[in-house]
Amino acid sequence: MSFRVSFQVLCSIICPLIPAVTAHFHAYVETPNWLATNGSTFHAPENQTPMPALVIDTFQNPTHNDLGFWHGPGEDLPVQHEPGFIRLFPTDPDQNFHTQFNIHGCFSLIPWQKQLLHVVFEGNEEFTVSLNEHNTECYPQRSPFPGTPDSVQASRYVMRTQILSGDDEKSSNDTGTDTNTHAPNTITRRNARRQAQRVPSNDTREDDGDNEQNSASPEKTELFIPLSHFHINHNRVVSVSFSGFYTNVSLTLRRVEIVSAIPPPSPNNNKFIIPEKAPSGKLILRCSRPNSFAFGIDDGQPQYAQEVMRILDEEGVKVTFFAVGAGLRDPTTNFTNFYREMMKKGHQVALHSNTHPKMEALPTLQDIDEEVVRTIQTFHDELNLTSRYFRPPFGTVGARMREALASRIKDPYIVNWSVDVEDWLWGNTSTPEHQLDAFYRSVARGGNLAVMHFLNPSTVGYLPQFIRHIKSAGFKIMRIDQCLEDPNSPPL
């Protein structure tokens, strides 16, 4: 079947996004710093008796934490370090700061699994905290690394304690309230969106940060997050990270540790109690079915759609397409007919937002929710389709987006990747063959879930070579829902 398409119309939607894709495509990028260590190792105790506090980071060293392993920024996050704190100056939700438990293998948090992550900080409260799982081989040269995280929104777990004199503090804490009770957080929050702080000159940085704390806020701000709120394999943890920044307010980290208890609710901490874990989508980076491989093909330019269809027909493989709602609603793109035909042929079609923004960068939860709701409605109206599968634009993932998806879709899968053809980097250059190099390299490292687009002819032209390379390696190519062993997926 032949379809009429309009390159000009869809390019008005997709083409302006290409430079942003090129500049900020990855939420996580491996750097040599991930493999750094000061030569020491730390081993978790094997017994199951109550554990003392595990101090992870007090930021005494610019490159290593208290466990002896690397801590540092990713995605060009500007930082300022002084003994005792690290100050982050974010401008993008993909920017991140990690502090590692181990690099030589997996670290087990099982002895502390009933305890809490405790973070002492100042400034920005609008960010994501993640506990990151290592890959199954506990080996950083295998993909994905870091592995899958689970994430929470920091602002839900903030305890603000008034800084009182010794007598006042003793009086305020005189309560027998059970600190293990989980209930909605009743704290009245101040407006955390203070005026954005920029990196000051070298001779004023520390004074500016400390003066802000002492003059503007007579409070100590802390996070208390139960480790049980991070739904990952606690036997193979690799790091704690901070990301998902959607304001330019700086964040100063002073202490990261695991503790067994929190102060009881009292007037001087606004009767803080731990909130319930918010429902959150599951982040996927790789297939679970043995010997499987899946291509996740994001939206592209309509002029290449028929060629993609022809290649998939000739190679006899099924893939998953992630479609943008705005393109489906525009009849001049003819994407609705294209994806209907692909569904008839047995391919999976899944969600890719409404207008393709970096969703975690949107200023309000209402904005994120609108992206989710509009794309769900468009899929229903144009394709008569519901889907639990969602690929975040640019691969940007944060707690707000994960929670927004879970509020609208039951048990959503948030699908990123462990194989990147890097078409966003090489597709429109004089060396497009680097896309093949990137693909082969990712597969050799153990990746089995790919991301690519049909935005340029070189990527489409390499698609048969991608497919044949996977077949020759002995993998079976299938849809993403099939490679994840979804019981609702079609039989192989």
Q: Is the pLDDT higher at 409 or at 215?
A: 409
Q: Which of 298, 327, 454, 306 is nearest to 10 (CA)?
A: 327
Q: Is the pLDDT higher at 21 or at 74?
A: 74
* CB distance 483 to 449 below 8 Å: yes
The rounded distance, in Å, linking the Cα atoms of 377 and 451 is 25
Q: Is the pLDDT higher at 201 or at 293?
A: 293
Q: What is the DSSP letter of 228?
A: G
The pLDDT confidence band at residue 36, using thresholds 50, 70 and 90, is low
3-state secondary structure 110-145: HHHCCCEEEEEEEECCCCEEEEEECCCCCCCCCCCC
The rounded distance, in Å, linking the Cα atoms of 54 and 57 is 9
CATH ID of 32-276, from 2.60.120.10, 2.60.120.430, 1.20.1740.10, 3.30.200.20: 2.60.120.430
Task: State the average pLDDT for the chain.
Answer: 85
Structure token digits, residue 449: 């879930």
Give percent of the chain with pLDDT exceeding 90.
77
Whether a cis peptide bond, with omega within 30° of 0, leads into 19 is no
- Domain ranges across the chain: 7-23+284-483, 32-276
How much is the pLDDT for 303? 97
Q: Which CATH class is domain 7-23+284-483?
A: alpha beta
Q: What is the mean pLDDT of residues 60-88?
A: 98
How much is the pLDDT for 184? 33
Residues 6+ apart with CB under 8 A from 445: 141, 142, 143
Q: Which of 180, 185, 278 is nearest to 230 (CA)?
A: 278
Residues 6+ apart with CB under 8 A from 75: 24, 26, 27, 29, 92, 94, 95, 96
Q: Kindly tell me if the per-residue pLDDT of 177 is higher than 50.
A: no
How much is the pLDDT for 50? 62
Q: Kindly tell me if the per-residue pLDDT of 191 is higher than 60.
A: no
Q: What is the mean pLDDT of residues 220-240?
A: 97
Q: Kindly tell me if the per-residue pLDDT of 22 is higher than 90.
A: no
Q: Kindly tell me if the per-residue pLDDT of 341 is higher than 60.
A: yes
How much is the pLDDT for 39? 40
3-state secondary structure 420-458: ECCHHHHCCCCCCCHHHHHHHHHHHCCCCEEEEECCCHH
Residues 6+ apart with CB under 8 A from 102: 41, 42, 67, 69, 238
The rounded distance, in Å, linking the Cα atoms of 56 and 72 is 13
How much is the pLDDT for 218? 74
Give percent of the chain with pLDDT exceeding 70.
79
Q: What count of Cα atoms within 13 Å lies in the side-chain half-sphere of residue 208?
A: 15
The three-class DSSP label of residue 465 is: helix
The rounded distance, in Å, linking the Cα atoms of 273 and 363 is 27
Q: Is the pLDDT higher at 83 or at 179?
A: 83
Q: Kindly tell me if the per-residue pLDDT of 105 is higher than 90.
A: no
Q: Do 32-276 and 7-23+284-483 fall under one CATH topology?
A: no
How much is the pLDDT for 44? 45
Residue range 286-332, pLDDT digits in tens: 999 999 999 999 989 999 999 999 999 999 999 999 999 999 999 99
